[in-house]
Amino acid sequence: MNIALIGSGGREHALCHKLFESSIVNKIYCIPGNAGTNSIAKNLNIDFLNFNRLLSVIKLYNIDLVVVGPELPLVKGIVDFLRKNKIKVFGPDKYAAQLEGSKAFMKYLCKKNKIPTAGFKICKNKKDINIFLAQHKMPIVVKADGLASGKGVVICYSKKEVEKFSNEIFLGKFKSSKKLVLEEFLEGEEVSYFLIVDKKRFSFIGSAQDHKRVGENETGPNTGGMGAYSPAPVINKDLEKKIIKNIVEPTLKALRERNHSYTGFLYVGLMIKNNDPYLIEYNVRMGDPECQVILPRLKTDLGKLLKASVENKLNKIKIKWSESKCMSIVLCSKGYPNRQIVNKKIDLRQIKLTNKSFIFHASTKIKNGLFFSNGGRVLNIVVLGNTFLKIRNQIIKIIKIINWKFGFFRKDIGWRVINKR
């Protein structure tokens, strides 16, 4: 089958790499892709939010399955549009994508179905804010309701901070919504739990932990993710049962009852406290960089798996995993996540990869056969191995060989699982 893969980040390069290995995948078209996908697929420089243009390209290239990487097209209804036009597509519809697209939608769904999550109030004005402030202690988490490219959440330690950030949201700082959610602060260990879902059932597709802060020792501003590792040892059998029974099943049942059965990847963002899971967020896609550390461990043919999901035959596939552990460190452009330098040459010719090491491109482009940086997160250096410490050392060795003077990275990725040993 021919695949159109929507997106251009490290997640999409990892998906593309795995689909390239699939025995049932013929051609892959990345829309728009990056310099990494360019070497194994055909990149098409098309605005994927222009759905009509996208449809004509899908028809032109005889695409059998569209795989959607990022959240924005899902939240904007790409799945509904393509399905209406009889195109097979992997991902949730617009209604179900509100799990990520609207924090208010997600929190109401939790409340109605008794899903464990932080106490909250949806606020539309100052009066709402004051009611919540009078009833709760600091810290308080302020969240913009709509998509905000990772910039919509602030943990506040004073009333003043809550008022300031809330005011900015009410005044329209984020175009997607002027509502916000105030939440109690949950203490614990954060972990991401992934599922692949069809209309009738779901299968586990990995656990991971990522590092969102830009600086070592979890300091500095939040980023899209500076590195990740899989599996996450904090997940045990007992916890997994609770995640499924208390969080996943009631969510999928609620959507089914509203005639919007979920399909696609589901990213369950959790806080674990005293071996009990609390839902922090849903994302309606794979994580980035979590995808880059989960897929190298997957032994099952990804093409077959995605096909089974869109045909509601996930029960026919037993998902197999490598015993190895996997880690990714992201090589970023200096200045990220504020104002990073871009368009700098990056030379990978000295790098010799094995079947246990990978470079997944994120923001790169190709000019005259050479790689150039094109954004904040540039490359994911990914290694499979037996211990996280050895893996991390190997990744750092590769980064030293790349020796990119315009970049930086965190040397402490995986500290939680390495320091414990």
Binding region for ligand GLY (CB under 6 A)? 210, 225, 283, 287-288, 290
Distance CA(102)–CA(144), nearest Å, equals: 9
Answer with the entry of ligand AMP, ligand GLY, none that 288 interacts with (C-beta below 5 to 8 A by kind): ligand GLY
Answer with the entry of ligand AMP, ligand GLY, none that 190 interacts with (C-beta below 5 to 8 A by kind): ligand AMP
Q: Report the site for ligand AMP in 35-74 (rule: CB under 6 A).
A: none
Q: Which is nearer to ligand GLY, 283 or 394 (CB)?
A: 283
Interacting residue with ligand AMP among 163, 249, 281, 412 (CB under 6 A)? 281
Answer with the entry of ligand AMP, ligand GLY, none that 210 interacts with (C-beta below 5 to 8 A by kind): ligand GLY
Helix (H, G, I), strand (E, B) or coil at 371: strand
Q: Which is nearer to ligand GLY, 280 or 305 (CB)?
A: 280
Q: Which is nearer to ligand GLY, 132 or 278 (CB)?
A: 278
The two three-digit tokens of residue 378, written as one number: 């540039």
Interacting residue with ligand AMP among 185, 204, 372, 415 (CB under 6 A)? 185
DSSP class of 149? T
Could you identify the residue written with the tokens 């539309």?
Answer: 124
Site membership for ligand AMP, residue 190 (CB under 6 A): yes
Number of Cβ atoms within 10 Å of the Cβ of 183: 23
Q: How far is CA 19 from CA 5, 15, 261, 327, in A?
A: 10, 6, 25, 20
Using CB atoms within 10 Å of the CB of residue 403, give its burial: 0 to 12 exposed, 13 to 18 middle, 19+ buried.
exposed
DSSP class of 243? I
Helix (H, G, I), strand (E, B) or coil at 330: strand
Distance CA(177)–CA(66), nearest Å, equals: 28
Site membership for ligand AMP, residue 269 (CB under 6 A): yes
Buried b (16+ CB within 10 A) or exposed e, 288-324: bbbbbbbbbbbebbbbbbbbbbbeeebeebeeeeeee
Site membership for ligand AMP, residue 280 (CB under 6 A): yes
Answer with the entry of ligand GLY, ligand AMP, none that 168 interacts with (C-beta below 5 to 8 A by kind): none
Tell me if 269 sits within 8 A of 282, measured CB to CB: yes
Q: Which stretch binds ligand AMP (CB under 6 A): 36-44, 184-192, 253-261, 372-380?
A: 184-192
The two three-digit tokens of residue 35, written as one number: 């310099």
Site membership for ligand AMP, residue 20 (CB under 6 A): no
Phi/psi-derived region of residue 315, left when phi > 0, alpha when psi is between -120 and 50, beta in every other case? alpha
Using CB atoms within 10 Å of the CB of residue 350, give its burial: 0 to 12 exposed, 13 to 18 middle, 19+ buried.
exposed
Interacting residue with ligand AMP among 5, 41, 89, 118 (CB under 6 A)? 118
Q: How far is the CB of 90 from ligand GLY (least distance, A)?
A: 17
Q: Which is nearer to ligand AMP, 136 or 344 (CB)?
A: 136
Answer with the entry of ligand AMP, ligand GLY, none that 290 interacts with (C-beta below 5 to 8 A by kind): ligand GLY
Site membership for ligand AMP, residue 110 (CB under 6 A): no
Answer with the entry of ligand AMP, ligand GLY, none that 118 interacts with (C-beta below 5 to 8 A by kind): ligand AMP
Site pattern 127..166 for ligand AMP (x: CB under 6 A): --------------x-x---------x-------------
Instruction: Enumerate binding residues for ligand AMP (CB under 6 A).
Output: 118, 141, 143, 153, 183, 185-186, 190, 269, 280-281
